[in-house]
Structure formats: structure tokens, C-alpha cells
Amino acid sequence: MKTISSLRESVQSWRAFNQRLADLTDLAQMDDESLRPDLEAEITKLEADLEKRSFTAMLSGRYDEDSALLAIHAGAGGTDSQDWAAILQRMYLRWAERSGFETEILDLTEGEEAGTKSITIAVNGRYAYGYLRSEKGVHRLVRLSPFDAAHRRHTSFALVEILPQDPLDSAEIEISPNDIKMDVFRSSGAGGQNVQKNATAVRLTHLPTGIVVTCQNERSQLQNRENAMRVLRGRLLAMKQAEKDQEIAVLRGEYTKAEWGSQIRSYVLHPYQMVKDHRTEYETGNTQSVLDGGLDAFMEAYLRATST
């Protein structure tokens, strides 16, 4: 039913586009000069729509139409890397908002001094995984450190992990209750009223694979367990797909070290301004726009490079 609904939506969308094109052609054939401004405006809209459809057509992977789980882990670089992870968190949340996706923070571990140690975000909406899979890997930041009294240049790393979000009612991934060990603990926080007095945080260990997932963002133990199960299913699905494609090192972020030589993209804020993707060589000097969520050009360049 999910496949039928998706195909029906696509067919109806293309029929509507075709009708707009036919109506525009009929108006153009009237050769009425007074209609020229309206025709030019409509042509511009159609061209933009067609470009978006061309981009979406590249999202033909098995899970590309599904929602996604996005996880960010601070890497080598101490407090600077934790701050960098928080910057990436803001960047992806802004991109999701601009792109019309709904987001939900499932788990968040804050840094001791600043920033984020790790965060897991559910990005819900059609094609979320297809767009975001280009972001999987190590992201490198070069800047003058705000945490260095001498204001020296520092290099920071963060790992971005993208997983398909398998619905809980899907039969593709079956998890036996006997294969899961659950521990509960008090949620960590900044202190005061932010710290939970009750043990509501959940840690799930999948015994056959050793995968460990924690969720502590909700006040309910039941909600945290459900969110942890969503993340666990996503990791198992990614591992299953990786085994099929013999690309475990690529699809499972745990096997990629967030350090020198393994980055997919560099963000340089000093001594010059540039964001460069090392897989496609696409780059831009407008770093602020990228950090504000302007990622579509990088995603498109990656999809075009990998679809040829």
C-alpha cells in the first residue's frame, strides 16, 4: 500500500505538470503580446519545477524515499570539535526546516564545556534519506578557536552518520526480545531542573551484533525505549544493506575515524573562506550560507557524481 500510494502521488504530480505545460503552450500560441510577462513568469516556475524533478529522479535507491536518522558525533579536537558538532546540528536543522522536513531530537549528549558530544535526530519526510545520504562521513572545520586564549587556528572533526528510518511495523528487520539487553539510568544534563530525578534514560544493547543505542531526551522511559528501538532498527538496516553491498566501512559510521585524512568535506573559516567537498570537488566561498543550511548544491553534486 505504501508503494502504491507513492506511485499514485508521483503519477498525479507529473500529470499536473503536463497539464500546466499544455496550458502554457496554448497561451503562447495565442500570440498575445500582453500575456508575455505572465508567460515568462510561468516558464520560470516550470523550469524550476523541472529542475527539482530532475534532481529527485536521481533519488532511486532502495531507501531514498524514506525518512532518515541523522547522528552527529564530535571527533578529534576536544571542546572545539564538540562546538563544531553543535554547529553542524544547527546547520542540518536549518536545512531540514528550509526543505520542509520535520525533525525530532531523539538523543542529545552535551559537551562538558560547550557544544555537543553526540546527537541523534529523526528527519521525517519523503526523500529525507535520499537527500541526506550524501552527508555521511567526516566533516572537517578549520578556524580560529574561540576556546584558545591565544586565538590560534584549530582543526576540528565531527562524524555524520545517516541511517534509513525503518518503521516499527516493518517486517524487514525482526528483533527478538531475547537479543536485547536494556539498562535504564538517569538522564544527564546541565544540572538544576534539567537533570531527571527518575531513571528514564534507556540504553539498548543488541547482543548478536554488539550495537549499543542510548536515548534520554524524553521524560518517559517508554518513549526513550521506543526511540532507541527506532535507532537500533536503523543501524541494523544499514548494516544489512552494507553487508549486501560489501561496503560496511562506508555505511556504518563506527568504522570511520573522525580524524585527519578521512574527511569528505572541509569547512575553512580562516585564513580564507571556503567549503569544499573532497568527493566531487564542488566548492563555494559562501561559508555562512552553507552553515545556515544551504546544502542542496553539495547534495546535487554528489548525486550527479554517483548516479553516472
- Express each pLDDT in 130-174 by its tens digit: 999 999 999 999 999 998 878 889 999 999 999 998 766 566 788
Same domain, 106 and 239: no
Residues 84 and 162 in one domain: yes
- Convert the pLDDT of each residue in 202-251 to its tens digit: 999 999 999 999 998 888 899 999 999 999 999 998 888 777 765 545 55
In a domain, 104, yes or no: yes
Q: State the pLDDT at residue 193.
A: 45
For residue 241, tell me if it sits in a domain.
Answer: yes
Q: Give yes or no: residues 159 and 261 share one domain.
A: yes
Of the candidates 204, 227, 245, which is a domain's last residue? 245
pLDDT on residue 196? 52
Q: What is the pLDDT of residues 235-293, one digit of tens each?
A: 998 888 777 765 545 554 544 444 445 789 999 999 999 999 999 999 999 999 999 99
Give residue 248's pLDDT. Answer: 46
Residues 155, 259, single domain; the answer is yes
Domain co-membership, 77 together with 207: no
pLDDT for residue 259:
46
Rg (CA), the chain: 22
Residue 297 lies in a domain: yes
- The mean pLDDT of 49-58, rounded to a whole number, is 84
**pLDDT digit string, tens, across residues 175-202:** 899 999 999 988 765 444 444 557 789 9
Supply the pLDDT for residue 171.
64
239 and 262 belong to one structural domain: no
Domain end point (choices 219, 245, 271): 245
Does an H or E element contain 194, and which? none
The residue count for the chain: 308
Cβ(231)–Cβ(106) below 8 Å: yes
CATH of the domain at 90: 3.30.70.1660
The DSSP H or E segment spanning 302 is helix 296-307
C-alpha cell at 41: 513568469
Do both 140 and 275 map to the same domain?
A: yes
Tell whether 79 and 143 lie within a shared domain: yes
**Number of domains within the chain:** 3
Range of the domain at 15: 2-29+38-57
Q: What is the pLDDT of residue 254?
A: 46
Q: What is the CATH number of the domain that holds 206?
A: 3.30.160.20
pTM comes to: 0.80
For residue 308, the model assigns a pLDDT of 60
Among 206, 190, 198, 188, CA closest to 222: 198
Residue 292 CB coordination number (10 Å): 14
Among the listed residues 171, 127, 142, 158, the one whose alpha carbon sits nearest the alpha carbon of residue 269 = 142
230 and 99, same structural domain? no
Beta strands per DSSP E along the chain: 68-74, 102-110, 116-124, 137-144, 153-164, 180-185, 201-206, 211-215, 263-268, 274-277, 283-284
Please, what is the average pLDDT of the chain?
Answer: 87
Task: Classify the C-alpha dihedral 125-108-257-113 as positive or negative.
Answer: positive
Q: Is 161 found in the same domain as 93?
A: yes
Boundary (domain end) residue, out of 220, 245, 270: 245
Q: Indicate if the alpha-carbon torsion angle 74, 78, 82, 84 is positive or negative.
A: negative
Is residue 62 assigned to a domain?
Answer: no
| Residue 260 belongs to a domain | yes
202 and 93 assigned to the same domain: no
> pLDDT for 88-123, tens place per residue?
999 999 999 999 999 999 999 998 888 999 999 999
Close Cβ partners of 15 (under 8 Å, ≥ 6 residues apart): none
Domain-embedded: residue 90: yes
Residues contacting 35, CB < 8 A, separation 6+: 27, 28
Q: What is the pLDDT of residue 292?
A: 97
Nearest Cα neighbor of 36 from 48, 24, 47, 18 is 24
| 143 and 269 fall within a common domain | yes
